Structure 1
Amino acid sequence: MKNSIFNPLVISCFVFACPAYAAGLSGVSERSAGQLEEVQVTGSSLANRGLADAEAASVGTVLAAQIAHRPALRPAELLETIPGMVVTQHSGDGKANQYFLRGFNLDHGSDFANYVDGMPINMVSHGHGQGYTDLNFLIPELVDRIVYRKGPYYAEAGDFSSAGTARTSYARAMANQTVKLTAGENDYARLLAFGGVAAADGQLVYAFESQQNDGPWQLPEGFDKANGVLKYSGGDRKQGYSLTAMAYEADWTSTDQIPQRLVAEGSVDRYGSLDDSTGGDTHRYSLSAEIWSVLNDGLNLQSQFYVVDYALRLSSNASYYSRDNSDDPEVRGDQFTQFDNRLTLGGQLDFTQALSAVHELRYGGEWRLDDINDVGVGFSQRGLIYDLFASAAVEEQALGVYSSVHSQWTAWFASIAGLRYQTIDVAVADKLDATAGGSDREALLSPKLSLRFGPFATTEFFINYGEGFHSNDARGVVRRESAVPLISSSVGYELGMRSLLANDIQLSVVAFRLDLDSELVFVGDESTTEPRDASRRQGLEVSVFYQPVDWFVLDMDVASSETEFKQLQVDEGQVLGKYVPDSVEQVFAMGASIDLDNGVYGGLRLRYFGPRKLTEGGDVESAASKSVNANIGYRFSNGISLGLEIVNALDERDDDITYYYASRTLSERNAGIEPQLDRHSHPMEPRTYRGTLAYHF
């Protein structure tokens, strides 16, 4: 992609001038289409957007009450409240999860943007993979809401948002204090103290968490996590502020995916490992501020600022002994260690201006700087690098300005028209080859348009169009050979319908298409992502929410999609096929929850994760997986509560993740056998029981 010829000043003037012209038009509604009215109910996220308030049928807000009794294995599984989202893991508990949505294997977050209290979580030019999204620092008990928007239809959404965005917010106030102890099989233990207190003129929310876990693996994971949050807030989300400090550290030994040929022949246990020194350690320390201001009548400002200190060191071995020459007496194996040390700082200014009874203008800008002191990878033994083959310092700066006009033209027709102008500048200093670094700059203009028709009685329809993008790793952008573009664009389309079938049944149906200029594909034997050719994905999503009484909720989500490269993939003259490896095709999720006045509460979740094509030709597929998680508990009148959680309640022997690539074991290497193509899987954890004792005061 060539640098844009558009001048940023000209674009900014165009973005802000067009909405001002629209302000002169008249209309009938007293509320703009952009205002989002929340319905405070427990249940499906669909229920938390009222008719005549949403921008698309694929947006939603998940409230704290919906999370409170939801059984889950990992913190990031909170994102499975987003219809069609699947969260898995192929390594240790301290590593970022694998995310699947809308036909994507998002790997660790490549095309879905995540924010926590206004801070972007996706990492650019990361040591393990572009868009790396580690949410293991999340404390579910503190979450106040998750606002999600699928697709690239929103001007305020920037990098990594082609598939959508999720914005998670911690509570600004809590009425009680809680001490919570959870214990389970495989030396699982979690101690959490959290709550809220009045302090000066505001509210202080705090949480301190300690967790350990060995897991079901033959090689004990030894996962240790320490986590803390302090959040001080004053005022409200119209005129107020929040100041937040977070600190998170973790270390672990991981059991990576293993070849199925060894499991089938019985030489390696299903929960076994071929390298007992893989694993890692990480930390994340952050300070952030959010400020809500009313500047004058009709003009509001939301400001966000943050600074994050982050580091990761990760040792992996996906192919075991494929690199070693069989005749070489020295055996080293294929283990490699990736590292990343950075400081990230930035902020966003978001203005909303009521222009008339018909039009509302939203505009703003965001800036982000990643100062990466050292990012690289080297071959290692037992986590110690002996052959460092990539090490660089990277400075990456992103600036985006945007504007959108929210217009309620009639009682049954509304529109949102927007533009985003994005620039990204990178500078790479290679620490091993002074001639290999360089710099680059690219810019992109992305139009957006959303149309809403209705509500007609209790049904409304949506048409959405938007262009988005993801950035690519700066190190691959500046290299002299086989360079990739800094920005890869996307185009998304969506048709949607939402309806209240009855007072207690809500339905959402969405058909979507998304075209990417370049696909980011996970490479199993290298444990990283690489940019590939243009792709297209399209699919259908259906969400149903049913709440006949206030203490019972039932919800169901179905998603089906197909993903293909736009051209046949060819490698050294051999035609491979057109499928994007490991793209999700079918997802089904269903859940029920109860919360009775007598103190009894519980939840039940079923998830089906369909088979996935593992090669471009589609001739090799993964198996489907299904899991059932459940919990039940009782709150006593004296503040004590007891709970039992069962993960994988049916004890399914399915896999969390499967890849297809070549590997070789030590015995195969010694026998002179070449690396063999095979499925490599990481199993779901077996049925696991966890009990919780909590005291609320």
Structure 2
Amino acid sequence: MNFLQLKKLTLLLLTICAAQTAIAQHIFKGKVVDSATNQPIENASVYANGNSCITSKSGNFQMMMPGDSCTMMVHCLGYQKKAVKLTKPRERVVIALGAGSISLDEVKVSPHLSANSFYTLSALDLRLRPVNSSQDLMRLVPGLFIAQHMGGGKAEQIFVRGFDADHGTDLNVSVDGMPVNMVSHIHGQGYADLHFLIPETVSTYDFGKGPYYTDKGDFATAGYLNYTTKDALDKSLISLEGGRFNTFRAAGVIDLLSSKAKQNGENAYIAGEYNYTNGPFALAEHYKRFNLFGKYTKQLGQNNKLSISASTFSTSWIPSGEIPERAVVAGTTAIDDNGNAIKLPIAANPINRFGTIDSAQSGKSTRTNALVKLSSDLKNNWSLEDQLYYTHYTFQLHVNTTFFADDNDNGDLKYQNETRDMYGYNGRLSKRSYLGNATLTSTLGIGERQDRIYGPVYNSITHSGGFLESISAGDVKENNANAYLDETLETGKWLINAGARIDYLHFNFHDTSQNKAIISPKFNIQYTASEQIQFYLKAGKGFHSNDARAVIGNNGLQTLPAAYGADLGLNWK
């Protein structure tokens, strides 16, 4: 028997075995929704006869079972468990879950890549822990630490997994799939200011450590963090809060449609937030922040869902800034190299650790976003997601970190300013293939992002605002086109995931251009020994882009610095 005959015989035997398996088993499928809002519940667990699966983003599930009937147990953290008897294979059933109590006993180490135990615990944290700012939202992520300097209006300094990620250089941050990181930002590459996000509108957050996720591109070296806003409200809410240092916050989320509209798959709400504080420092911060957000979702037939959202944000503040420890010890505004006190007219006298040296520092920022997303469940277990987004952004900062080190007469005050438009598209085509009780999920994604930064300037100025020297100025254009392919096989206690993405970036500054492409392979494998313990191996390559000004200035050197990672470990409950 030659090789060709052997191959044909093998294919024939596999076909016969697959046909016998299909005859012996029946397909049961359904959709799990929230009984109050009629919205799909993602990552709900479905159990029957020792088999299990989890629901997709659209709430759908599918299982193959012996016999033409079965009883399925459906549960999700925060909802009441429900047993459903299914007697009609291949006919999709809708299962509605009502709100219930929260119990940690329900948390299990899951074999599913998209529904691990951390996702469940994240939802638990979001429900139970007090959160009234985007800083509080970031603190919910295990292993992520933040620090704030130069007042409350700037993006936080992020520390995660051994990385000093600056303001976001090594952490990919997004909201509803829209990038938060700003490329070629005048204050720092990857600058990720989350202050436009109202905590009361957040339904879930997802995070991952390392460069191991195919759908995450630029800045996903230490990891990624994505927040998802609510599609529907279970109730309206208005809150008023106050505290020391003239601190107060007013926030509200208002449901706009009736219960009947919700049952028909239509939801709309608006949310607003206003913050003010003077802070604990001698120089009053006069921090102000205003947020407004609105979202509308509509179920278009049985298989399509439209989501439209828009938000606007503005903030201004006067930072106290950093001060040298030696000035605090001396109890004066500053001391020279000989230890003599220096009295500066721009500073508060005398100084302590709540004082300031340069009172001319200040900041302002605005951001307006618009997103449109269409999710479609196609035939034969195909699904399609299309998303368009637009952002208009402004940033102004007067900052002085060296005081009089460089200019003894005028001081070292710098002025940073930029205006930006960002356009983008994300597309994802997925198919779930069921091979007995094994599931193969294939995903093809494409994306495009364009940043147009108008007149970003970085100048040295006097304390009265007079111009001294231009450090950097000129329009920046930056494009990022990407595509990725991802395959995930779930069979029994094993999960195997492999994929690769390609990113092509175009940089333009002062009418000079550079282009660069990078390929990032990923590989993950998990073995879930029980509901308490799981072993995993992860490996992958990631990258973060460099500022377009540096790329052009360095003639394309270190345009897309790569990061390589590998993890071997276990999850244990």
Instruction: Give the TM-score normalised by the residue count of structure 1.
Output: 0.62
On the 8 A contact 1:180/1:192 being kept in 2, the answer is yes
Greater RCO (Cα-Cα under 8 Å, separation 6 or more)? 1
Tell me if 1:423 matches 2:497: no
What residue number does 1:643 align with? none
Question: Which of 387, 392, 397 lines up with 2:474 in the alignment?
Answer: 392
Q: 1:47 to 1:77 in 2, by over 3 A?
A: farther
Q: CA deviation at 1:100?
A: 0.8
On the 8 A contact 2:112/2:495 being kept in 1, the answer is no
Q: CA deviation at 1:101?
A: 0.5
Q: Distance in 2 between matches of 1:225 and 1:117?
A: 22
Counterparts of residues 464-475 of structure 1 (less than 5 Å): 464-475=538-549
Q: Which amino acid aligns with 1:265?
A: A
Unaligned runs of 5+ residues in structure 1 are 1-22, 326-330, 430-436, 500-505, 507-697
Q: CA deviation at 1:54?
A: 2.6
Q: Which amino acid aligns with 2:192?
A: T
What residue number does 2:110 align with? 51
Q: Distance in 2 between matches of 1:376 and 1:210?
A: 30
What residue number does 1:452 align with? 526
Q: CA deviation at 1:274?
A: 0.7
What residue number does 2:319 align with? 254
Tell me if 1:218 matches 2:282: yes
- Cα deviation per residue 1:485-505 (whole Å; 9 max; x = unaligned)? 221111111113123xxxxxx
Q: Distance in 2 between matches of 1:367 and 1:45?
A: 41
Question: Which of 174, 188, 210 lines up with 1:129 in the alignment?
Answer: 188
On the 8 A contact 2:445/2:483 being kept in 1, the answer is yes
Q: 1:32 to 1:292 in 2, by over 3 A?
A: same
Question: Which of 373, 376, 391 lines up with 1:308 in the alignment?
Answer: 391
Q: CA deviation at 1:35?
A: 6.0
Q: Which amino acid aligns with 2:249?
A: R
Tell me if 1:401 matches 2:488: no
Q: Distance in 2 between matches of 1:52 and 1:212?
A: 45
Q: 1:158 to 1:31 in 2, by over 3 A?
A: farther
Q: CA deviation at 1:65?
A: 5.3
What residue number does 1:160 align with? 219
Question: Which of 152, 175, 178 lines up with 1:93 in the alignment?
Answer: 152
Q: CA deviation at 1:299?
A: 0.3
Q: Distance in 1 between matches of 2:77 and 2:204?
A: 11
Larger radius of gyration: 2
- Cα deviation per residue 1:371-416 (whole Å; 9 max; x = unaligned)? 11121200123472503231111110001100111112x4222201
Q: Which amino acid aligns with 1:495?
A: L
Q: 1:39 to 1:466 in 2, by over 3 A?
A: farther
On the 8 A contact 1:55/1:450 being kept in 2, the answer is no
Counterparts of residues 101-250 of structure 1 (less than 5 Å): 101-198=160-257, 202-235=266-299, 239-250=304-315
What residue number does 2:38 align with? none
Counterparts of residues 27-42 of structure 1 (less than 5 Å): 39-41=76-78
Counterparts of residues 326-365 of structure 1 (less than 5 Å): 331-357=409-435, 358=438, 359-365=440-446
Q: CA deviation at 1:355?
A: 3.1
SS at match of 1:261: helix
Q: Which amino acid aligns with 2:398?
A: S
SS at match of 2:119: strand
Tell me if 1:479 matches 2:569: no
Q: Distance in 1 between matches of 2:104 and 2:509?
A: 42
Q: CA deviation at 1:356?
A: 3.7
Q: Distance in 1 between matches of 2:77 and 2:54?
A: 20
On the 8 A contact 2:240/2:250 being kept in 1, the answer is yes
Question: Which of 308, 312, 330 lines up with 1:265 in the alignment?
Answer: 330
Unaligned runs of 5+ residues in structure 2 are 1-13, 23-49, 60-74, 79-100, 333-350
What residue number does 1:380 align with? 461
Q: CA deviation at 1:193?
A: 2.0
- Cα deviation per residue 1:402-449 (whole Å; 9 max; x = unaligned)? 0111112x42222011010111011112xxxxxxx5110100111111
What residue number does 2:368 align with? 285
Q: 1:158 to 1:250 in 2, by over 3 A?
A: same
SS at match of 2:481: strand
Q: Which amino acid aligns with 2:317?
A: W
Q: CA deviation at 1:227?
A: 0.9
Q: 1:46 to 1:123 in 2, by over 3 A?
A: farther
What residue number does 1:461 align with? 535
Q: Distance in 2 between matches of 1:248 and 1:269?
A: 34
Q: Distance in 2 between matches of 1:56 and 1:494?
A: 19
Q: Distance in 2 between matches of 1:416 and 1:32?
A: 17
Counterparts of residues 629-644 of structure 1 (less than 5 Å): none
Q: Which amino acid aligns with 2:460?
A: F
Question: Which of 492, 515, 534 lines up with 1:411 in the alignment?
Answer: 492
Q: Which amino acid aligns with 1:224?
A: K
Q: Distance in 2 between matches of 1:69 and 1:204?
A: 25
Q: 1:388 to 1:406 in 2, by over 3 A?
A: same
More helix by share: 2
Counterparts of residues 507-526 of structure 1 (less than 5 Å): none
Q: Which amino acid aligns with 2:484?
A: Y
Q: Give percent identity, aligned residues only.
A: 28
Q: Distance in 1 between matches of 2:211 and 2:53?
A: 21
On the 8 A contact 2:110/2:531 being kept in 1, the answer is no
On the 8 A contact 2:486/2:498 being kept in 1, the answer is yes
Q: Which amino acid aligns with 2:448?
A: W
Q: CA deviation at 1:59?
A: 5.5
On the 8 A contact 1:58/1:150 being kept in 2, the answer is no
What residue number does 2:342 align with? none
On the 8 A contact 1:62/1:146 being kept in 2, the answer is no
Instruction: Give the TM-score normalised by the residue count of structure 2.
Output: 0.75
Q: Distance in 1 between matches of 2:150 and 2:127?
A: 27
Q: Distance in 1 between matches of 2:567 and 2:427?
A: 28
SS at match of 2:213: coil
